[in-house]
Amino acid sequence: DGGITQSPKYLFRKEGQNVTLSCEQNLNHDAMYWYRQDPGQGLRLIYYSQIVNDFQKGDIAEGYSVSREKKESFPLTVTSAQKNPTAFYLCASSISGSRHVILGYTFGSGTRLTVV
Amino acid sequence: GQQLNQSPQSMFIQEGEDVSMNCTSSSIFNTWLWYKQDPGEGPVLLIALYKAGELTSNGRLTAQFGITRKDSFLNISASIPSDVGIYFCAGPPPYSGAGSYQLTFGKGTKLSVIP
């Protein structure tokens, strides 16, 4: 079955360390997205990519970096520059383009990152 | 950017009660999507609405696309404990340049069901 997989489910990071969250999809979707979720804040867009080797900053990109070397993969690195990284991170994918966005996104099951 | 306002922000109900929540926008939307997020999981699409006035059901869930195209409603009948979670509305805002083929999400309605 096709789907989108995030790993790990739980991640602990020491202050000052970079950490990378994995997101892999086998839905043949062109577009992929990273969201951050904090209690009561809804979903905030960090980065998105509409095509391989191209990505754009979302609303809260500072302190994060991404790469899109393969269609299936869109890893997110939380750098030491992110001052408050403890949050629930969600990856999503979709068919690209304005005609297909109405079909919605498929989300992964999330990674909970805690800074210790 | 475009915003979707969901209300209520949270609600506590007794098992068996019906639930109503809504999503409004200052701009016209041509598609409304409703997602549910179980605790500790990613959101899952429940219902999609594509036409003003459309009423669509999925089991005990019923969603409506408002006639003005600026709002949508989600109702849950005879709630059960597994209805607990956060319900998000979403939609692609009217085309306004680069990035407008993305979804805008509301902040969600958190539902708690008391057994």
Contacts of A90 in chain B (CB under 8 A): 42-43
With CA atoms as reference, the chain B residue closest to A40 would be B107
Instruction: Give the model's pLDDT for residue B96.
Output: 53
Q: Is residue B2's pLDDT more than 70?
A: no
Q: Which of A21, A34, A43 would best serve as a mutation to test chain B binding (most B beta carbons within 10 A)? A: A43
Helices (H) and strands (E) in chain B, counts: 0, 11
pLDDT at B72 over 80: yes
* Interchain contact, A110 vs B100, CB within 8 Å: no
Residue B54: its pLDDT value, please?
A: 95
Quote the pLDDT of residue B10: 96
Q: Read off the pLDDT band of B100 (50, 70, 90).
A: low
Model pLDDT, residue B95? 65
pLDDT tens digits for range A30-59: 999 999 999 888 999 999 999 999 999 999
pLDDT value of position A99: 73
Residue B49: the pLDDT is 96
CA distance B101 to B89: 16
Q: How much of chain B exceeds pLDDT 70, in percent?
A: 92
Contact A79, A18 (CB under 8 A): yes
- How far CA B44 is from CA of A54, A104, B69, in Å, comes to 26, 10, 23
At residue A64, the pLDDT reads: 98
Tokens of B12: 């506590």
At B97, the pLDDT band (50, 70, 90 cuts) reads low
Rounded average pLDDT over B61-69: 97
pLDDT greater at residue B114 or residue B96: B114
User: Which chain A residues touch B50 with a CB distance below 8 Å?
Assistant: 102
CB contact under 8 A, B44 and A107: yes
Asked if B41's CB is within 8 angstroms of A109's CB, the reply is yes
Residue A96, pLDDT score: 81
Residues of B with CB under 8 A from a CB of A: 9, 30-31, 33, 35, 40-45, 48, 50, 88, 90, 92, 95, 99-103, 105-108
Question: CA A79, CA A65: separation in Å to the nearest integer?
Answer: 7
* Token code pair at residue B1: 């950017």
Within chain A, which residues score under 70 in pLDDT? none
CB contact under 8 A, A104 and B99: no
- pLDDT of B79 reads 97
Scanning every residue of chain A, which has its alpha carbon at the shortest distance from the alpha carbon of B29? Answer: A102
Those residues with Cβ within 8 angstroms of residue A19's Cβ, 6 or more apart along the chain or in another chain: A11, A13, A77, A78, A85, A113
